Amino acid sequence: MPKIADKRKVLGGRGSVVLYASGTSAGQFFYRELIKGTKSYMTRRIEGVSNMDEAEAAATEVAFELNKKPDLSLLWDKPKGNGSEAPKRDYFSGRVVSRKPRSIPVSQAVQNWLRLEYEKADSGLIRRDTVDKKAGLCRRHLIPYLESKGVTRTAQIDATTFEGYPIYRSASTPLGRRQELGTIQEWCRNYLVKNRYLDSSLLLDKQTPLIPRTVIRQTDLMKNPAINPEDWKIIVNYVRDVWKKESLTSHPKAAGWFYRNMFHHFILFTKNSGMSPEEVMKMKWKQIEIVDEGRINSKGEKVSWEVAYIRTIRSKTQQAREIPVNQARELRRWKQWLDEYIIEKDLRNVQVKKDSLVFGNPHYNWRAFSYKYIAKSWVEIRNKLKDQLIGHRFSPHPYTIYSMRSTFIEDQLMKGTPVMEVAEMAGHDVRETQRTYARLNLRRKGTELTLPEIGKKRLESKLVNLFADDWG
């Protein structure tokens, strides 16, 4: 069996992308998926990719094709008329294969591709909001860009078509441009080339790549920097003592007062749990289990110590995990505040149930608040405090609502929690967590690395003779 050099789970664990290190498949990328009820795999090579990231991006399309049932009758087409061989047909689509690219309007090619992507979303292979983002990119940027280049039909796409896209989208971040170009490459590879609207040689040319490469620096990867303790104290104090109380005059309605109290508890929990903001927004009371683990104090006495265990599934990766969170007291306090608020405001037929959202809106039957609204509140607070905040020592980017998740990860690593455990708790990529650890570890070793050389000078070595008369 060939040795595997690298392996990465995709599609929420449904399948894997593997890179083989030995055998006839050495250096090649494959998608493989376990056949239900067996120990065997369905496998297919991923064409036109040169690294694991490209292979992962192409895996969805390969999985979709791998799970389609082909019309095998097409493999035995009989010769026509003059007895010549039947034209070669594609194994899955049945279309006649020809070297010459066809041509259709770009807008139609985009629409057709997106329709197929939504079919994949309906079958559970990819998330629907992922396709929504692709559709938004095509509508807002891809089609207008091609129109600005005079490209209205697929046959007009050549090796120089996309070279100006990074300049066209210079207002976006390097990571944003890389993601957009990755989507465009996906459209070209998985739809245009596959349906003969684009010559495959354009994608295989390494010297003049069809899709320009985007240089990503380390600082670009730190777009959600962790919040240092001093800045976090400033943020929390402002939210608790100023921003929350402002609602009594600027937002006198009950809903305004509730929202700002909710936001205060929301950021406390998010920063101390490592969960993504979306996870916290969707969290229900039934996902929380509080256990008194007990502790022995300095006097040798057993005292109460409650830990909240949160069962959650991160929507981005579909990774299920249970997180121990030191927020039991805060959750109890929030639950009590909710009960009192409902009584005080006389919200009839409203009560906190196990199926209620922890940070939902009681004025609208516990409906979730808009993520955009919560993110907007964060930006408002951050901008108000910008002159007081120091920022992250390694990142030039401002704090985002995801910075609370980054803070949890860095705090755990600085505390000495093993990398694997931190990655598991946060549902984070192990390799990225390891890079964060490596960066922070130099900081932790600062004292050791900068010690003066005093006392380190070695004396001249002296041989000790065990058999000398005066030994001992």
For the stretch 5-58, pLDDT in tens is 888 888 777 889 998 877 777 788 889 888 877 878 888 888 877 778 778 877
Can you give the pLDDT at residue 107? 93
- CA pair distance 227, 411, nearest whole angstrom: 10
- pLDDT at 359 exceeding the cut of 50: yes
- pLDDT at 278 exceeding the cut of 70: yes
Q: Are residues 50 and 150 in the same domain?
A: no
How many domains does one find in the chain? 3
Q: Are residues 208 and 353 in the same domain?
A: no
Specify whether the CB–CB gap between 290 and 365 falls below 8 A: no
In a domain, 345, yes or no: yes
Q: Are residues 92 and 198 in the same domain?
A: yes
Confidence band, pLDDT 50/70/90 cuts, at residue 72 = very low
Q: Which residue has the higher pLDDT, 307 or 247?
A: 307
Residue 298 backbone phi and psi in degrees, to 5: -60, -20
- Residue 43 lies in domain: 4-66
Q: Which residue has the higher pLDDT, 48 or 167?
A: 167
> Angle formed by the axes of helices 419-426 and 403-415, to 10°?
150
- CA pair distance 289, 271, nearest whole angstrom: 19
Specify whether the CB–CB gap between 268 and 251 falls below 8 A: no
Q: Are residues 282 and 235 in the same domain?
A: yes
Can you give the pLDDT at residue 77? 40
In a domain, 327, yes or no: yes
Q: Long-range CB contacts (< 8 A, 24+ apart) of 216-219?
A: 216/174, 216/175, 216/178, 217/174, 219/394, 219/395, 219/396, 219/397
Q: Are residues 183 and 317 in the same domain?
A: no
Residue 330 backbone phi and psi in degrees, to 5: -65, -40
- CA pair distance 201, 193, nearest whole angstrom: 9
Can you give the pLDDT at residue 1? 63
In a domain, 177, yes or no: yes
In a domain, 295, yes or no: yes
Q: Are residues 330 and 194 in the same domain?
A: no
Residues contacting 172, CB < 8 A, separation 6+: 180
Q: Are residues 103 and 173 in the same domain?
A: yes
Q: Which residue has the higher pLDDT, 178 or 53?
A: 178
Q: Look up the pTM and report it.
A: 0.58
In a domain, 189, yes or no: yes
Q: Are residues 168 and 97 in the same domain?
A: yes
Confidence band, pLDDT 50/70/90 cuts, at residue 76 = very low
Q: Are residues 115 and 55 in the same domain?
A: no
Can you give the pLDDT at residue 472? 47
Percentage, residues of the chain above pLDDT 70 = 80
Tokens of 145: 């860009």
* 121-125, 166-170, 432-436, range with the lowest pLDDT: 432-436
Residues contacting 300, CB < 8 A, separation 6+: none
Can you give the pLDDT at residue 165? 93
Task: Residue 197: give its domain's CATH number.
Answer: 1.10.150.130
Instruction: Name the domain boundary from 386, 421, 438.
Output: 386
In a domain, 326, yes or no: yes
Q: Are residues 119 and 174 in the same domain?
A: yes
Can you give the pLDDT at residue 138? 94
Instruction: Name the domain boundary from 156, 188, 216.
Output: 216
Can you give the pLDDT at residue 80? 44
* 15-24, 76-85, 289-298, 373-382, range with the lowest pLDDT: 76-85
User: Strand 4-10's sheet: what is its strand order?
Assistant: 4-10, 15-20, 29-34, 41-45
Highest mean pLDDT among 163-167, 243-247, 420-424: 163-167
Can you give the pLDDT at residue 170? 86
Q: Are residues 240 and 179 in the same domain?
A: no
Q: Are residues 249 and 381 in the same domain?
A: yes
The candidate with the shortest Cα–Cα distance to 135, out of 177, 185, 187, 173, is 187
Instruction: Name the domain boundary from 352, 386, 420.
Output: 386
- pLDDT at 467 exceeding the cut of 80: no
Residues contacting 416, CB < 8 A, separation 6+: none
Q: Which residue has the higher pLDDT, 191 or 315?
A: 191
Query: Amino acid letter at 75?
Result: L
365 burial (CB, 10 Å; 0-12 / 13-18 / 19+) is exposed
Can you give the pLDDT at residue 387? 92
In a domain, 449, yes or no: no
Can you give the pLDDT at residue 319? 67
- CA pair distance 274, 447, nearest whole angstrom: 29
In a domain, 444, yes or no: no
The candidate with the shortest Cα–Cα distance to 327, out of 280, 278, 264, 268, is 268
Residue 167 backbone phi and psi in degrees, to 5: -70, -40
pLDDT tens across 82-107, in order? Answer: 444 444 444 444 455 555 678 899 99
Residues, the chain, total? 472
